A = this chain, B = another copy of it.
């Protein structure tokens, strides 16, 4: 019998929309998901850990990875590089593991070219006011960066049409429920492995 390949779930959306929190809570509720740790040149935030939240590298290393075509997607977002290693994705899927990526919109669109079978989930804020409030609440950025992020969010929302699902993060628990359901439903979807289901 053909081995079942894993699902590729891509959680994406503007900065400050709550992707990270949602992804963490999701992993607490569905235990058999793998997380693809991204590579970034940005400085770790206070509570972030090397290898758990990101692989933190310098710009030189990052650019070498680009040259070596190690990335499935990479982007320069708000002045910092971020990318996902191609090998991480391939290995997990081949082993039949369901892999979750949490990446920005630029990266998601790139990834869709390489992995059209991926399940692309856009996390949107309920309003501009809430998005701005969340970005300010982080307290880690200056005003200029904040405005840049809000501007980016405007154009990122126009990309929703390229995604499979839209989850509006108004109430965390509600959004989490929807995200969880998308995972559970997609696992029931009739594709390669299930279409020749036999008793």
Q: What's the minimum C-beta distance from A149 to chain B, rounded to whole angstroms?
A: 15
Q: Answer whether residue A164 sits at the interface, using C-beta atoms and an 8 A cutoff.
A: yes
Q: How many copies does the complex hold?
A: 2
Interface string of A128-166 (1 = CB under 8 A from B): 100000000000000000000000000001001101111
Chain B residues within 8 Å of A189, by CB? 164-166
Chain B CB within 10 Å, residue with most, of A177, A181, A182, A184: A181
Some 28 contacts from A to B, beta carbons below 8 A apart, are A122-B190, A124-B197, A124-B199, A126-B199, A127-B199, A157-B197, A157-B199, A160-B190, A161-B190, A161-B196, A165-B185, A165-B188, A165-B189, A165-B190, A166-B188, A166-B189, A166-B194, A166-B197, A178-B185, A178-B188, A180-B181, A181-B182, A181-B184, A181-B185, A181-B188, A182-B185, A182-B188, A185-B186
Binding site for B on A (CB under 8 A): 122, 124-128, 157, 160-161, 163-167, 177-178, 180-182, 184-186, 188-190, 194-199
